[in-house]
């Protein structure tokens, strides 16, 4: 065959039989597996749903490193189907912004053309991209609490679009963990509360980096305040509702992020609640604190397993002593209406401590799980009820448990029983949830005297002699009124008992302090136990304290003993139980 010239070959190739009929692709298709590619800044854009909404705190350090060393760790990229640009797949928006800034400053090609790892867009691309950015942002410059909260909320919306129903908090925690961003369910609860109740009022403070401890204080304050408001509004009326009040108070503190204080918010909220409800500030503060403390103890007791220990609590003999009151105490356990204390000295707002103080680690961060916080609170409360440790060992406990299992009995467990055995709430201004335990906010002489005087007044009122009791700032907090008739000897057993408790610690020149209390010995047994023959209902009522009065008497004695310890300077003595 003769050789064909190049011109003849070109003519043949240009003939009709060789004409291209297929469409010409404008761009190449994306790789179907992880592939290194080179892209320019014009082809690459940041991820639109990036949870980081504020400047990365490590921005300048990262920029200096990239300027000197180049991009050691190029971000992985991807592309949505039919999109004309690449996006950051997970973590890298900060590096992309730095590259654009360096390119504008230097015009060096190494900042414009970068080698990246392309990863195909997966079936659940949006969720995978969002959780990937959340995880990466945590590793390279921590997100603020509100940024994490908004990112988790966006993930919840994507899960809802995927399944057609809104996931519960537990389900959301499980899904986030499966997709590579584990978040405990208690944290999700706080995040949702933050978005719903705090973000509308203090966006500036939150985006300035308000930390989790203060956010937990605010959410705890909101819950405790709402419960107190609901209970008090049954007898009081207010022109506003609590959610509106809380939002208005919180919004007052959004203008100074660097000086924000949850304590100041608490102070302002309780102050406005006090004015609207007509309740004293100090009384309302204790109401909120006690309600939140009980709620935390009950929540932690229900969610966490009991800690095994064997100890002797002072509450056991006390509970036996008041066992006749068990049936009546159950009827008295309903919350009593709040009444104003007669002649009770008001305490300035600034002296009321923080209602909720989250348990913190040495680094300043709170435990990662709300259960740890509840366990620590429960252990602290249990410790305050222990007078002396029991002389036992783990081996002895195991033998006792084995015998109990063999005989079909239940071996008593201190931690399981103590919080159910001690509380004996009774009516009055200060309902008694625990005879022995003294909250740290109450553990100072002024407040102790206020409570002691109130209990003395309530005990005296059973005998119709409440008018003869007045509060004072010396002694144990109460005494007979100076203008009252002094009985020689005191004819009322109740007044004789109260006088015997208070007169010894009152001023020596006080007239009532010299009243004769010796006849009290003749009626003390009747006063505490009742008459032997139970002759008549009237006689029993006169000589015997009611079950409620007996509980108040025990509480009065406990507070008075603590007051004497503090004023004698033996707060840390072995004879005094600190903080209890």
Q: What is the pLDDT of residues 265-305, one digit of tens each?
A: 999 999 999 888 888 888 888 878 765 665 555 555 445 44
DSSP letter (8 states) at residue 54: S
**Above 60 in pLDDT, residue 364?**
no
Task: Please name the fold of domain 35-197.
Answer: 3.90.1530
Give residue-wise pLDDT tens across range 424-445: 666 667 778 778 888 887 888 8
Domain boundaries, the chain: 35-197, 203-299, 440-530+542-568
Contact (CB, 8 A) for 249 and 308: no
Which residues are paired to 86 by β-bridges?
Answer: 44
What percent of the chain has pLDDT above 70?
65
Lowest mean pLDDT, pick from 74-78, 239-243, 328-332, 408-412: 328-332
Residue 219 has what pLDDT? Answer: 92
Most confident among 25-29, 34-38, 573-577 (mean pLDDT): 34-38
Answer for the pair 56, 94: CB distance below 8 angstroms, yes or no. Answer: yes
Phi first, then psi: what are they for 504, rounded to 5°? -60, -30
Looking at per-residue confidence, does 521 or 240 come out higher? 240
Cα 389-296-218 angle, rounded to 5 deg: 130
> Is the Cβ–Cβ distance between 205 and 260 less than 8 Å?
yes
Q: Quote the pLDDT of residue 574.
A: 42
pTM: 0.49
Q: Return left, alpha or beta for 92; rule: phi > 0 is left, psi -120 to 50 is alpha, else beta.
A: left
Q: Is the pLDDT of residue 43 over 50?
A: yes
Digit-coded pLDDT (tens) for 381-394? 566 556 555 555 66
Distance of CA 219 to the CA centre of its chain: 7
113-116 own/partner pairs: CB under 8 Å, 24+ apart: 113/38, 113/39, 113/40, 114/38, 114/39, 114/40, 114/41, 114/44, 114/71, 114/74, 115/36, 115/37, 115/38, 115/74, 116/36, 116/37, 116/38, 116/39, 116/44, 116/74, 116/75, 116/76, 116/77, 116/86
Q: Which residue has the higher pLDDT, 81 or 352?
A: 81
Between these two residues, 505 and 119, which has the higher pLDDT value?
119
Whether 53 contacts 93, CB under 8 Å: no
Question: Tokens 């990262």 identify what position?
Answer: 62
Q: For residue 245, give every residue at least 6 positions away whose Cβ sits within 8 Å of its Cβ, in sequence order, or none.
A: 229, 269, 272, 273, 276
If you average pLDDT over each of 2-6, 233-237, 352-356, 364-368, which comes out highest? 2-6
Peptide bond into 236 cis (omega under 30): no
Q: What is the C-alpha to C-alpha distance for residues 209 and 186, in angstroms, rounded to an integer? A: 20
Pairwise pLDDT comparison (217 vs 511), residue with the higher score: 217
Q: What pLDDT sits at residue 235?
A: 63
Give the pLDDT score at 539: 46
pLDDT at res. 317? 35
DSSP assignment of 327-340: HHHHHT-SPPPP-P
Q: Report the DSSP beta bridge partners of residue 195.
A: none
pLDDT for 90: 82
Is pLDDT of 220 > 80? Answer: yes
Q: Ramachandran region of residue 300, left (φ > 0), alpha (ψ -120 to 50) or beta? A: alpha
Task: Tell me the two tokens of residue 275.
Answer: 């004015």
Alpha helix ranges (H) inside 107-168:
125-139, 145-163
Distance CA 146, CA 185 (A): 16
400: pLDDT strictly greater than 80 = no
> 479 and 472 in contact (C-beta within 8 Å)?
yes
pLDDT digits (tens, 9 = 90+) for 527-549: 888 776 555 544 444 568 888 88
Helix (H) or strand (E) holding 470: strand 469-471
H or E segment and range at residue 37:
strand 35-40
Q: According to the model, what pLDDT value does residue 498 have?
A: 85
């Amino acid at each position: 065959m003769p050789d064909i010239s190049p011109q003849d070959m070109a003519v043949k190739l240009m003939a009709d039989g060789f004409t291209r009929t297929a469409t010409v692709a404008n761009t190449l298709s994306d790789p179907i597996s992880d592939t290194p590619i080179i892209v320019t800044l014009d082809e690459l854009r940041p991820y639109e749903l990036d949870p980081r909404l504020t400047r990365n705190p490590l921005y300048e350090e990262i920029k200096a490193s990239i300027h000197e060393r180049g991009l050691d760790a190029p971000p992985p990229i991807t592309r949505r189907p039919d999109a004309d640009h690449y996006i950051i797949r997970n973590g890298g928006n900060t590096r992309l912004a730095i590259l654009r800034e360096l390119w504008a400053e230097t015009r060096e090609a190494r900042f414009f053309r970068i080698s990246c790892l392309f990863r195909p867009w997966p079936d659940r691309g949006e969720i995978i991209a969002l959780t990937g950015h959340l995880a990466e942002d945590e590793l390279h410059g921590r997100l603020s609490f509100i940024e994490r909260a908004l990112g988790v909320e966006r993930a919840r919306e994507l899960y809802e679009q995927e399944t057609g129903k809104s996931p519960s908090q537990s389900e959301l925690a499980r899904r986030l963990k499966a997709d590579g961003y584990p978040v405990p369910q208690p944290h999700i609860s706080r995040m949702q509360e933050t978005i719903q109740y705090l973000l509308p009022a203090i966006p500036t403070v939150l985006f300035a980096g308000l930390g989790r401890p203060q956010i937990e204080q605010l959410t705890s304050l909101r819950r405790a305040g709402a419960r107190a408001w609901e209970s008090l509004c049954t007898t009081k009326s207010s022109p506003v509702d609590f959610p509106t009040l809380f939002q208005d108070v919180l919004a007052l503190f959004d203008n100074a992020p660097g000086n924000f204080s949850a304590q100041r918010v608490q102070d302002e909220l309780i102050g406005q609640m006090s004015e609207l409800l007509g309740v004293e500030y100090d009384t309302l503060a204790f109401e909120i604190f006690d309600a939140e403390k009980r709620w935390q103890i009950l929540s932690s007791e229900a969610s966490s397993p009991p800690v095994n220990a064997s100890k002797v609590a002072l509450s056991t003999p006390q509970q036996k002593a008041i066992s006749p009151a068990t049936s009546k105490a159950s009827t008295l356990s309903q919350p009593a209406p709040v009444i104003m204390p007669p002649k009770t000295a008001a305490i300035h707002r600034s002296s009321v401590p923080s209602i909720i103080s989250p348990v913190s680690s040495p680094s300043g961060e709170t435990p990662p799980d709300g259960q740890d916080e509840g366990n620590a609170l429960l252990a602290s409360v249990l410790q305050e009820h222990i007078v002396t440790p029991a002389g036992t060992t783990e081996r002895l406990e195991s033998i006792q448990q084995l015998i109990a299992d063999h005989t079909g009995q239940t071996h008593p467990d201190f931690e399981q029983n103590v919080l159910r055995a001690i509380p004996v709430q009774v009516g009055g201004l200060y309902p008694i949830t625990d005879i022995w335990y003294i909250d740290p906010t109450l553990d100072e002489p002024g407040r102790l005297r206020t409570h002691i005087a109130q209990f003395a007044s309530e005990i005296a009122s059973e005998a119709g002699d409440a008018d003869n009791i007045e509060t004072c700032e010396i002694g144990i907090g109460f005494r007979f009124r100076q203008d009252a008739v002094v009985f020689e000897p005191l004819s009322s057993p109740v007044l004789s008992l109260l006088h015997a408790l208070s007169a010894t610690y009152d001023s020596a020149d006080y007239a009532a302090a010299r009243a004769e209390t010796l006849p009290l010995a003749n009626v003390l047994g009747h006063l505490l136990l009742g008459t032997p023959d139970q002759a008549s209902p009237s006689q029993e009522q006169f000589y015997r304290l009611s079950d409620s009065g007996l509980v108040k008497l025990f509480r009065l004695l406990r507070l008075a003993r603590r007051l004497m310890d503090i004023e004698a300077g033996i707060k840390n003595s072995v004879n005094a139980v600190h903080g209890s």
